[in-house]
Amino acid sequence: MNTAQIEAKGERLLRRLETNQKDGAPYDALGIIALDHQSSGEAIELFTKAIELDGPVPAYCAHLGEAFARLGDYRSASACIGQALVGEPSSADLRWAYANLLHLQGENERAARNYELLVAQSPRHAEAWFNLGVTRARQNRPSEARKAYEQTVTISPTYAEAWNNLALLEVAAGNLSAAESSYRRALLVKPDYRDALYNFAVLLQEEERLQEAVTINERLVSIDPGFSEAHNNLGNCYLKLNRLAEAQNQYLETLAIHASHREAPMNLGLAALLMGDFSRGWVGYEHRLAQREIEKWDWKIPRWDGKLRPGENILVHAEQGFGDSIHFARYVRLLVEAEMKVHLFCQPAIQPLLASIDGLERCVSEIEALDPVDWQVPFPSLPYCFKTRLETIPNQVPYLKVDEARRANWSKLYAELPQTGRRVGLVWQGNPNHRNDRNRSLPLSVLAPLLNTAGFQFLSLQKGGAGTRIPEGIFDLAPLLGNFAETAAAIEGLDLVISVDTAVAHLAGSLGKPVWTLLPYAPDWRWLLYREDSPWYPSMRLFRQPIAGDWSSVVREVKRALNELA
């Protein structure tokens, strides 16, 4: 109806009220007109009056519920729709509205029961099946959610949202191939569906199918240029492809859209560090502390500001893995030389090794053993505090020492071990819990060609528990390596260490021992790009994958280098 018709109807209803004020129907009709004019408050008064006069007529209750819902009062709305259902329990429309209101209130079980009643009554109600799936997913009942989504797409094969949600369940269950198929079905029927594009791109990134992920992310940011998370993820793809300038541009786009984005500042810093731009890189790297709760301990000690104060006590504490603590331990010497009183807090396995640093006050692995201090700083923040640049890296080695008693024990062991060539320590796998372990670890089958290189005796420094398989012909030192101080003594008696990017590579480098480090195509920031040496460790040589995943080429290069060395 047009405005004139609505006004005429309103006048007729008012005349009807003048002749019979005990009839609820005109009040209900006027309430509908008020709703049409977005006057929800006035509509509520009129519907309430209608119910007072005629009782809980289902239509009146339903209209009152709609008015409350428009005001966002879902509790009152559901009470009204529930009352309407009492009068018309077979109404699919009322059941649908009632279940949706419960869903909006987070009353998942009651909502699910009503969706189930609705689909029992109307088995081809695709929207009800879909909402039932959403509700069951909220309740962490994936098998029931899956069944509901499957019913949805059986009834309506073009229901893109159901395909997307079904894919999310497949991802959670580890069925990545099925998830990909569902994402593709969603995008087939709705090519510009933002959620499906985003989720599919994340799946591709996690599977290291980076160029495909780039294509999807680029499509996503063209559809929605203001989607900050898509820009950040596209930057992450470029970063793993070593396209650093493009990665930085995407992180800057992210921050232009969402200035307080949690991840983009650190990502921008990582890209700068990988490029050797340390002045910007350390600033971004400090954002790791805000990005997520990395620090285990709630230090109630002032954070060190980088000013050297002779005589004051400073606590340097471990924040990340063993390798990081070894890597950044080089800065302790600078603090000691500035006559600060240095206390170290680190993991138990590394404590005997770091305790060898000259000039320490204490080195402990239990927080209860700490002395009162004036300042605290995590190991990875020391380069930022010292304003380290590429040309000022403190790379004098060795900066860690081998315990003399342990050195003597290992000298005796090596003397008793038959020697068939230069002794080379091997590490081919990293920490399996590391988020990038599948890129850092080397399959034994790929390593095998290295082991028959003439003139060398290979010994395993691989620590991986009882299930770790040691190739035939390699002497396994792992049972003797109780901590990193013991591993350091074992390395001291070797001619060379060959390791993937793990703590052992850092340890060998910190001792000044020859170490060849095998790197994935997209390396950790500290190894930079396109160079065979490391500014952090003068005795280290880097061997890089030419393309992502190509460890075979790396092993061939290492074998060639060994033959030259022999």
What structural domains does the chain harbor?
Answer: 3-220 (1.25.40.10), 221-292 (1.25.40.10), 313-392 (3.40.50.20), 416-565 (3.40.50.2000)
pLDDT range class, residue 1, cuts 50, 70, 90: very low
Tell me, what's the pLDDT at 443? 85
* pLDDT, tens only, 233-291: 999 999 999 999 999 999 999 999 999 999 999 999 999 999 999 999 999 999 998 86
- Residues in contact with 436: Cβ distance below 8 Å, sequence separation at least 6, in sequence order: 520
* pLDDT, tens only, 320-363: 899 999 999 999 999 999 999 999 999 999 999 999 999 999 99
Tell me, what's the pLDDT at 368? 82
pLDDT range class, residue 116, cuts 50, 70, 90: very high
pLDDT range class, residue 466, cuts 50, 70, 90: very low
First to last CA, the chain: 95
pLDDT range class, residue 437, cuts 50, 70, 90: low
Tell me, what's the pLDDT at 258? 96
Cα distance between residue 85 and residue 81, in whole Å: 6
Q: Which of 80-89, 436-445, 512-521 has the lowest mean pLDDT?
A: 436-445
Cα distance between residue 128 and residue 149, in whole Å: 10
Judged against a pLDDT cut of 70, whether residue 471 lies above it is answered with yes
Cα distance between residue 79 and residue 74, in whole Å: 8
Radius of gyration of the chain (CA): 34
Tell me, what's the pLDDT at 355? 95
Tell me, what's the pLDDT at 34? 80
Q: Compute CA distances 13 → 44, 56, 498, whole Å.
A: 17, 21, 91
Q: What percent of the chain has pLDDT over 70?
A: 92
* pLDDT, tens only, 173-225: 999 999 999 999 999 999 999 999 999 999 999 999 999 999 999 999 999 99
Q: Which residue has the tokens 């098998």?
A: 143
DSSP symbol at 372 = P
* pLDDT, tens only, 379-413: 999 999 999 999 999 999 999 999 999 999 999 99
CB 196, CB 168: distance < 8 Å:
no
pLDDT range class, residue 68, cuts 50, 70, 90: confident
pLDDT range class, residue 57, cuts 50, 70, 90: confident
129: left (phi over 0), alpha (psi -120 to 50) or beta: alpha
DSSP symbol at 329 = G
DSSP symbol at 297 = S
Q: Which residue has the tokens 């894919």?
A: 167
- Residues in contact with 325: Cβ distance below 8 Å, sequence separation at least 6, in sequence order: 318, 346, 347, 350, 354, 379
Cα distance between residue 197 and residue 193, in whole Å: 6
3-state DSSP percent of the chain in helix, strand and coil, to 5: 60, 10, 35
Q: Which of 224-233, 418-427, 485-494 has the lowest mean pLDDT?
A: 418-427
Judged against a pLDDT cut of 90, whether residue 500 lies above it is answered with yes
Judged against a pLDDT cut of 70, whether residue 422 lies above it is answered with yes
CB 308, CB 367: distance < 8 Å:
no
What six digits make up the tokens of 461?
């420094």
Output the average pLDDT for the chain: 90
Cut 0.75: pTM above it:
yes
Cα distance between residue 490 and residue 413, in whole Å: 10
H/E segment holding residue 111: helix 108-121
